[in-house]
Structure 1
Amino acid sequence: MKQLTRPILFILACLVWAACSSTKSLKPGQYLYTGAEVKINPDSSGKIDDEKQVKSDLESKTRPRPNKSILGIKYKLGIYNLAGEPKKPKGLRNWIRRQGEAPVLLNEVKLKYNNDVLTSYLISEGYLQAAVTGDTVITGKKGKAVYTAETGNRYKINKVTFPPDSGILTKIINQNKDKTLLKVGDYYDLDTYKNERIRIDNDLKEQGYFYFSPDYLILQIDSTIGKNLVNVTVKVKDIAPDAGLKPYSIRNINIYPSYSLRRDTILRKLKPIEYHDFSIYDDRNTFKPKLFDRLVFFQKGEPYNRKDHNQSLNRMVNVGAFRDVRAEFLPIDSFKNNQLDLNIYLTPLKKNSLSFSVTGTSKSNNFVGSEVKVTQTTRNLFRNAEQLDVSVSGGFETQTRGTSLGRNSLSLTAEAKLTFPRFIVPFYKPNSTTAFIPKTITSLSYQMLNRGSEYTLHAIKGEYGYNFKENQYKEHNFNPISISYISTSFPTNRKDSLFEANPLLRTTLENQFIIGSNYNFTYTNQMETNRRNNVYFYGGLETGGNVWGLFTSKNDQGQKTLFNTPLTQFIRAEADLRDYYKINRNLIWANRLNLGYGYAYGNSTSLPFVRQFFAGGSNDIRAFPARTLGPGTYKVPDDAIFADQGGDIKLMLNSELRFKLVSVLYGALFVDAGNIWLRKEDLGEPGKPETARLGSGFKLKNTFNELAVGTGAGLRVDATIFVVRLDVAFPVRKPYLPEGQRWVFDDIAFGNKDWRRQNLIFNIGIGYPF
């Protein structure tokens, strides 16, 4: 540890020294630019609303930006200066210098340009009498820009007037004026005015005004009425073209399902297949005509509307059968009539493709390794845009941390998945009108998981279910039929020793059927990268044996069986809520709350091994080895040969501060807390009190008193397409210690070798923990 710590401290000291001495390399007459300061109404006693935020916004709009810094240390400038002037065009010195930043100089500041930018921004926010003046202040070899903003009063909206009903277009505008973004009493805001023009344009597009544009609208502002008020008048420009002022309807819908530029002339000469409102030009009969009932929402004779336009494009893109999608609207004669011909050009993907992938894997049980996967994809299997994926994969993993280091895992998986781009429901034909393609998915898979000298698990799984997106944020997965058969084999003389070390494995690793249903819901707005706060939520519910148990017989032990194999009966629920708050562009505060509850009944005394909850590991509570934490206040013996402590109930909280260091290197500081519990105390086998796990049962009043807490720091290489993570953590609260002694802050001793060996947990991971 000392061998690693000293070089790191030396490098940090060099960076601090280089950053602090950054001005020594400046030439005479050069001054290091340290940033901008904005003063708002300094000679007036009156303050404006949200002054702190306005000041921050103004300062962020000044250019150039000063050298980046953390805690006042200009680390990138330090790297630049530390490298020095390179003597050769290539080499290590050049590479180090490129990771830094050249000094930003005061003479790069354009005061007039910044004055105009800041004044324009204040006017757009309603300070119509604003004026900004700038100057520079030099101290030693450093300088800054100081901008003085005289804002005046902020103007509010007094009245909003829409155009009189002089025709169909203005009538539509007036019919929807109750949805206006311009509210009497609100502050003048240029962005709101721009969005109001877009809102009106959207309303008109829904009524057939294909060629209308927001630029054809003008919002006139009268600020002369006094009392810091404005009147807003919405008008259609006199110079708006005639084509934009009339609605259009659809005349013909022509579809080219196997289009390519090379075949353009041939396709246009074909006699089309007439199907409903579509004329389909496809001499190869690539797709069944009824497919387009689900992809194209337009009908002959109806007015053009943007909703049908967007939904049709989204469906054709998301169906997964086309490489290129293009919709063309052609006016028949923009002067004499108001009709459009719709031409849809679709270029199919190749029917067959073979993909090969090598991926890194990182699991919560501290197994790290790689997987090789080969997938054969067959598209448009039955000419309705179906897709068949047949894959074979194999992986090898090794455990990087745990009670049994050196454990290896070998997996082999084969899967066939058939996706239909529609709902297939017996005795019912659902009709989905959303922009997203609903899917029916059937799958069959086999997996062999070999844990070396411990056991080999074989799992056969079949599912039939549905996937559908309610919108871009919400996704549903429902599998009414999910069947799994799990069997386990053990090396000679290994089974008894495993069960003696962990009696719970006798029920979790026995052969069993899991037949039931599952549903999960996902909500996320993470695709909105411009949001300050992003949220992700996952909720899942699974049942096993609840309905099928009615049709099974019982064996001699009173268990319900299927093909002489016990049927697993349980209910399992899980929720995962994550929040990502962007403090600034390079600093994110990420939080997670994970809850789980399982109830085993009938045949089962505990959840199946593959459905249990576990705690600890690289994606969980990182200060504890994987699957060694809990249940409750129970502690796995130090000499245990096998640690897989599962539970029926789980509570976990994670908080992590993520920040950029340099280039693709990121850092993190984190705190994890949580535990797992059994619904009922494990009293062990009859007559064997030593097999009991005392303190393992769940009691609501003891929940927070039995939480484990750990903290630590990490480094991440985030190259966008992959993330490699190294976290180091240590416990600060151990739930298995006696009450009153569970917080262990006083025991922390980084300089003690024995403490480090017993408490420091290193986790290697692929991807972020959450």
Structure 2
Amino acid sequence: MIKHLRYLLFVTVLLSACSTTKYLADGQKLYSGTEIIVKDSSIKKSDANNIKAEMKALVRPKPNSSLLGLRVKLWLYFKTKARKGFIQKFFSKYGEPPVLISQVDLAKNSTIMQNRLQNESYFQATVSGDTVGKAKTAKAVFTALPGPPYIIRNVTFPIATDNSLDTAVRGTMKETLLKKGDKYNLDVIKSERLRIDARLKEKGFFYFAPEQLIVQYDSTIINHQVDLNVKIKPATPERAREIYSIRNIYVYPNYSLRDTSLKLDSANAYRWYNIVDPRNTARPYLFANTVLLHPNDTYSRTTHNNSLNRFINLGPYRYVKNRFEDVTPDSPKLDVYYFLTPYKRKSLQLELLGRTTSANYTGSQINLSWKNRNAFKGGELLTFTLFASTDVQAGGQNGGFNVFQYGAQTSLSWPRIIAPFNVKSSNAYIPRTVLSVGYTATDRQKLYALNTFSGSFGYQFKTDIHKLHELNLLEISSTKLRNVQQLYLDSIAKTSNPALKHVIDPQFTWGPSYAYSYDNTTEDYRTNSIYYRGKVSLSNNLYGIITGADTLAGKDKKFLGSTFNQYVKAEGEFRFFHKINAGNKIAARVLAGVGLPYGNSTILPYSQQFFIGGPNSLRGFRARSIGPGSVDATALNNGFIADQSGDIKLEANLEYRAKLFSIVYGALFADAGNVWNAKPHQAGGTFGPNFYKQLGVDAGFGLRFDATVLVLRTDLGFPLITPYINGSGSRSVTPSFKNAIFNLAIGYPF
């Protein structure tokens, strides 16, 4: 009883402390919000609710913000007003001055609402406003009488005649936004004008504008109907009625604002365009994939915009300016000019990064990069990078076995497809050919050190803004042991964990890969958005078949003196995001991967295996500490938990994200998954029909500090179900802070 009284007293004091109306002067009333009343029994309840929500959003000003009914920002304003202390000054920027009922202009707000309703088919609408007050607060009450909505009965377009513009406008009729049976809506009419203009721009009507269209309406039809008539304004100028085509095209690869002359006497013709480049800064063929307009082509806005995007995506150019010139008054022709301002060709960059690695470790990295943005005057990007990093896991029993890496990476990217066959594309994205070579030295303290050499040659191309294709004709990777510590050798000898030996085994993979990505998550207006990435990798498949490689039969084969790995690997990741409102979101992810070793291999090479656990995976378990299957890694090793891996992976994650205040977001999450071997190597570690009984499950909560350019994330994960029989004699775990894992990471987990 006493406990409850204390709680009640605390709440009372809190409410009293956050009371804000006591600071108001005599006669002032705090604006507490808006109420919308819709008086019209003929309107559907759903329509009335929509009107209330829309009209309420129009009212200005907005009342003071509140949290759980408490106007905290207003309270801060009053408490820090005219204070000189450091703390008061610090909190004053979060304060919010009072919004008084006297600031609400009832007549102006009523007029705005009435106009909006009339623009949305309620031609007879009227709105009036009043206030309802208490001692220190008052609200605005608006009463709307919408009247009946007016419905579109007929829509007519210009009749096709010898006039090309009338014919073109009528040709857009099938895709019209003005539908019979819909309510009249002025915003839809404006969108229809923009739609028609966009279609006309594809047909060569370069000088046409949406304002040269008019949509007349007749509201005298019985039963509250309206007829719409789409027309071209009589005052439309003659050149807006003409279909324009392209005459000459000029490209200036080394343009600066100081250039005042077009220098057409310096133009050199190359195929269908002309290059004006007295200093020879670029080879003429560089622009063959970017200049998509051709002489005598009818002007098309899409083709024009795609060309501009391609110029920007070439790489060497900082700015792209474009100009069209009407050159033949007696015949509708355009000359096209592209003015390109280049970056500095060579640059040196130093980066200090916080990162989360693929091994689910958090750490830092330093990169020193040299770039040449136009290495051979063909738009090639040549990059050479030196890097060093250190990675640790924040939380869990890492035991000091941190990871240090250093190495070098060089790559050469061409803004075109380098192939013995011709590849044509006309979208906004430039296909690229990429050659890369790299070396990485990995030193895991107290355990072992590895050398890895890698290289790849392939293509990257987008078919639209959402879809990315990555085809590597060849990926090569070779990993060999540099040194190993006695602690690690003793662990191999004392335990029955084959994963320990597998980590330091020589690895040699060689083969193609293909990856496809779809991503529309950058489009913030979507309620639901998705991300998908799938990849298929092969290694030494044809060579292994030709040589008859079969390690189980004692027929181990080598390539260039090295035993090679042979496998087929497929993996996929799907993410789904549902926006509840501006500050709340549900995020879900499903991952699946399978690698099938055969011929010269009985298990995937360690670098190609799957891992699970850690800050970007199952957050209630240490990084790479789960699996394979029901194997208990903690019972296998002495002094540290080896990285557990598998040929098959299943994982699912669910997260609720909510904005708390300022840049601080909260999250509730749950994760489940495991990895397995494709073939028997460890008891309980092979994928089988009872795989679902070996899933690890966790749940937890966390904070995200989202400063846009950097997201710092903290998660506290609680294991709920282990894949193995734990110390309690079952797979279930009672959640407690003693067995929780704290994760510190950069960026969102997915």
TM-score (norm 2): 0.92
Kept in 1, the 8 Å contact 2:594–2:648? The answer is: yes
User: Aligned pair in 2 of structure 1 residues 701, 131: CA closer, same or farther (>3 Å)?
Assistant: farther
Kept in 2, the 8 Å contact 1:399–1:407? The answer is: no
Q: How much does 1:559 deviate?
A: 1.7
The one-character-per-residue Cα deviations of 1:397-447 (angstroms, maximum 9, x if unpaired) are 223233333222111121111011111123x11112221100000100111
* Structure 1: distance between partners of 2:230 and 2:578: 38
Q: Match for residue 127 of structure 1?
A: 122
User: Aligned pair in 2 of structure 1 residues 454, 722: CA closer, same or farther (>3 Å)?
Assistant: same
Kept in 2, the 8 Å contact 1:181–1:196? The answer is: yes
Is residue 612 from structure 1 mapped to residue 612 from structure 2 by the alignment? no
* Structure 2: distance between partners of 1:285 and 1:364: 44
User: Aligned pair in 2 of structure 1 residues 203, 604: CA closer, same or farther (>3 Å)?
Assistant: same
Kept in 1, the 8 Å contact 2:325–2:335? The answer is: yes
* Structure 2: distance between partners of 1:111 and 1:627: 63
* Structure 2: distance between partners of 1:372 and 1:532: 38
Q: Report which stretch shifted further, 173-182 or 545-554.
A: 545-554
Is residue 198 from structure 1 mapped to residue 194 from structure 2 by the alignment? yes
AA at the equivalent of 1:760: A
Is residue 488 from structure 1 mapped to residue 487 from structure 2 by the alignment? no
1:448-463 matches, cutoff 5 A: 448-463=441-456
The one-character-per-residue Cα deviations of 1:189-225 (angstroms, maximum 9, x if unpaired) are 3232222111211121112111100111011111210
AA at the equivalent of 2:220: T
Q: Match for residue 356 of structure 1?
A: 350
* Structure 1: distance between partners of 2:265 and 2:16: 74
* Structure 2: distance between partners of 1:700 and 1:526: 35
Kept in 2, the 8 Å contact 1:508–1:606? The answer is: no
Q: Match for residue 101 of structure 2?
A: 106
Q: Match for residue 600 of structure 2?
A: 603
User: Aligned pair in 2 of structure 1 residues 706, 58: CA closer, same or farther (>3 Å)?
Assistant: farther
The one-character-per-residue Cα deviations of 1:548-593 (angstroms, maximum 9, x if unpaired) are 3245586994222223322111222222212222222222222222
AA at the equivalent of 1:456: A
2:289 alignment partner, SS class: helix
Is residue 31 from structure 1 mapped to residue 29 from structure 2 by the alignment? yes
AA at the equivalent of 1:756: F
Q: Match for residue 84 of structure 1?
A: 80
Q: Report which stretch shifted further, 279-288 or 111-120.
A: 111-120
* Structure 2: distance between partners of 1:374 and 1:508: 29
User: Aligned pair in 2 of structure 1 residues 144, 490: CA closer, same or farther (>3 Å)?
Assistant: farther
Kept in 1, the 8 Å contact 2:396–2:741? The answer is: no
1:133 alignment partner, SS class: strand
Is residue 715 from structure 1 mapped to residue 709 from structure 2 by the alignment? no
AA at the equivalent of 1:185: G
Q: Report which stretch shifted further, 507-516 or 491-500.
A: 491-500
Q: Match for residue 432 of structure 2?
A: 439
Q: What is the aligned counterpart of 1:585 among 582, 587, 593? A: 582
Q: Which stretches in structure 1 are left out of the alignment for 5+ residues?
A: 1-8, 684-691, 749-754
Kept in 1, the 8 Å contact 2:30–2:98? The answer is: yes
1:592-741 matches, cutoff 5 A: 592-637=589-634, 640=638, 641-683=640-682, 692=683, 694=684, 696-700=685-689, 702-703=691-692, 705-737=693-725
Is residue 417 from structure 1 mapped to residue 411 from structure 2 by the alignment? yes
* Structure 2: distance between partners of 1:19 and 1:533: 41
1:185 alignment partner, SS class: coil
Q: Match for residue 324 of structure 2?
A: 329
Q: How much does 1:360 deviate?
A: 0.4
1:290 alignment partner, SS class: helix
Q: Report which stretch shifted further, 539-548 or 98-107.
A: 98-107
Q: How much does 1:96 deviate?
A: 1.5
1:133-172 matches, cutoff 5 A: 133-166=128-161, 167-172=163-168
Q: What is the aligned counterpart of 2:740 among 753, 760, 769? A: 760
AA at the equivalent of 1:647: G
Q: Report which stretch shifted further, 474-483 or 113-122.
A: 113-122
Kept in 1, the 8 Å contact 2:396–2:742? The answer is: no
2:498 alignment partner, SS class: coil
* Structure 2: distance between partners of 1:76 and 1:597: 53
Q: What is the aligned counterpart of 1:210 among 182, 206, 231? A: 206
Q: Report which stretch shifted further, 405-414 or 476-485.
A: 405-414
Kept in 1, the 8 Å contact 2:363–2:392? The answer is: yes
User: Aligned pair in 2 of structure 1 residues 229, 49: CA closer, same or farther (>3 Å)?
Assistant: farther
* Structure 1: distance between partners of 2:99 and 2:358: 45
1:284-303 matches, cutoff 5 A: 284-303=279-298
Q: Report which stretch shifted further, 169-178 or 549-558.
A: 549-558
AA at the equivalent of 2:712: V
AA at the equivalent of 1:768: Y
* Structure 1: distance between partners of 2:70 and 2:601: 60
Kept in 1, the 8 Å contact 2:164–2:241? The answer is: no
Could you tell me the percent identity over the aligned residues? 39
Q: Match for residue 369 of structure 1?
A: 363
* Structure 1: distance between partners of 2:52 and 2:673: 41
Q: Match for residue 4 of structure 2?
A: none
Q: Match for residue 573 of structure 1?
A: 570
* Structure 1: distance between partners of 2:472 and 2:620: 36
Q: How much does 1:648 deviate?
A: 2.2
Q: How much does 1:290 deviate?
A: 2.1
Q: Match for residue 173 of structure 1?
A: 169
Q: Which stretches in structure 2 are left out of the alignment for 5+ residues?
A: 1-6
Kept in 2, the 8 Å contact 1:392–1:414? The answer is: yes
User: Aligned pair in 2 of structure 1 residues 46, 275: CA closer, same or farther (>3 Å)?
Assistant: closer
**What is the aligned length?**
734
Kept in 2, the 8 Å contact 1:19–1:74? The answer is: no
Q: Match for residue 548 of structure 1?
A: 543
Aligned Cα root-mean-square deviation (Å): 2.6
2:288 alignment partner, SS class: helix
Q: Report which stretch shifted further, 417-426 or 179-188.
A: 179-188
2:715 alignment partner, SS class: strand
1:302 alignment partner, SS class: coil
Q: How much does 1:454 deviate?
A: 1.0
Is residue 524 from structure 1 mapped to residue 524 from structure 2 by the alignment? no
The one-character-per-residue Cα deviations of 1:11-46 (angstroms, maximum 9, x if unpaired) are x989954774233333332333332222333x6275
Is residue 280 from structure 1 mapped to residue 260 from structure 2 by the alignment? no
* Structure 1: distance between partners of 2:614 and 2:208: 57
Kept in 2, the 8 Å contact 1:498–1:642? The answer is: no
* Structure 2: distance between partners of 1:716 and 1:558: 53
The one-character-per-residue Cα deviations of 1:86-133 (angstroms, maximum 9, x if unpaired) are 422x72211112124333332222222322232333333323322222
Q: Match for residue 3 of structure 2?
A: none
The one-character-per-residue Cα deviations of 1:462-504 (angstroms, maximum 9, x if unpaired) are 1000000111111111102001001123434234224244322
1:261 alignment partner, SS class: coil
* Structure 2: distance between partners of 1:18 and 1:145: 25
Q: What is the aligned counterpart of 1:499 among 487, 492, 499? A: 492
* Structure 2: distance between partners of 1:17 and 1:453: 58
Kept in 2, the 8 Å contact 1:16–1:78? The answer is: no
Q: How much does 1:302 deviate?
A: 2.3
User: Aligned pair in 2 of structure 1 residues 343, 57: CA closer, same or farther (>3 Å)?
Assistant: same
User: Aligned pair in 2 of structure 1 residues 532, 75: CA closer, same or farther (>3 Å)?
Assistant: farther
Kept in 1, the 8 Å contact 2:441–2:449? The answer is: yes
1:160 alignment partner, SS class: strand
TM-score (norm 1): 0.90
Kept in 1, the 8 Å contact 2:514–2:536? The answer is: yes
* Structure 1: distance between partners of 2:14 and 2:327: 71
User: Aligned pair in 2 of structure 1 residues 515, 432: CA closer, same or farther (>3 Å)?
Assistant: same
AA at the equivalent of 1:424: I
Q: Match for residue 687 of structure 1?
A: none
